[in-house]
Amino acid sequence: MQPHDPVYGSPDEAHRDPLIHQPQDPPIAAEARTAAAIRGGSLPRMPKPNRRRVMVVANQKGGVGKTTTTVNVAAALSMHGLKVLVIDLDPQGNASTALGVPHHAGVSSSYELLVEGTGIKECVQEVEGLPGLLCVPATIDLAGAELELVPMVARESRLHKAIEAYTEDIDYVLIDCPPSLGLLTLNALVASREVLIPIQCEYYALEGLGQLLRNVDLVKAHLNPDLAVSTILLTMYDSRTRLAQQVAEEVRTHFGDTVLKTAVPRSVRISEAPSYGQTVIAYDPGSAGALSYLEAAREIAAAGAA
């Protein structure tokens, strides 16, 4: 990194970050400036973490934004100069789709990683247009992995061993999980040091969260003492509704500083982006969804360097 490169998270951040800290500009000007910086590859660098951060994005409730959060936070971090590895552990392969990574039958994937013991280096693919971002895709074969893992020795720690054996220079490993608490998610929890929980700002948002937190505590007690819930991100936030405000207030009251200040709004652009094989940051970099994920990634990176 050159001495003059701007870095997020530094003490004079408010004076050196031209994209976020210009409140006097109208919103459309900030959006246009950010979009131009993304397309021109001139985003400021984010600070590297003190050590590799392995984060599992988990919530057994479906439709809360796990995959969307995984791919967009990963893209945002890589666009700001960090090296990121995404491991897709969801048999649906939605993270692979959103990153434009091939995940058809015959492609080396997270199935080979878990069941056959293939190394990450043999399964990983580069994400086009994002030189700092790598992905281990998921294929439909992964749907049978839960059953195939049952008789295996140390079945819950196979992903952990694969990540430990991967010695490439990686700043962040983000693991996208299926909406369940089975062996795939258990492997991700054992392999990680941190849990990132996306919580939808809806009535049923907190249902099942207690079970997830109990599972995290069980894994911490018996399999991975380093595991902790480090980050909670509010998703699908609609500031026009009293319900979303109440859910956000309740989550912030209960979890405190673990909850990111940034909340991701409900956005058509976020929903559209995967159908083009893109993250929302690449699809519409000036949109509210893209800006929210960029800011969320900035918070995550700042915490990692603290």
pLDDT digits (tens, 9 = 90+) for 69-106: 999 999 999 999 999 999 999 999 999 999 999 998 88
In a domain, 172, yes or no: yes
More confident residue, 256 or 18: 256
In a domain, 4, yes or no: no
User: pLDDT for 132-165, tens place per residue?
Assistant: 999 999 999 898 888 999 998 889 999 999 999 9
More confident residue, 61 or 281: 281
How many distinct structural domains can be found in the chain?
A: 1
More confident residue, 199 or 44: 199
Residue 95 has what pLDDT? 95
2: pLDDT strictly greater than 60:
no
16: pLDDT strictly greater than 50:
no
Look up the CATH number of the domain holding residue 200: 3.40.50.300
User: pLDDT for 181-199, tens place per residue?
Assistant: 889 999 999 999 999 999 9
In a domain, 30, yes or no: no
pTM equals: 0.87
Q: In which domain, by residue range, is 135 found?
A: 50-305
In a domain, 291, yes or no: yes
In a domain, 218, yes or no: yes
In a domain, 297, yes or no: yes
Counting residues of the chain whose pLDDT is more than 90, the rounded percentage is: 63
In a domain, 289, yes or no: yes
Give the pLDDT mean for 261-289.
91
Mean pLDDT of the chain: 86
Phi, psi angle pair for 126, to nearest 5°: -80, 145
17: pLDDT strictly greater than 70:
no
In a domain, 108, yes or no: yes
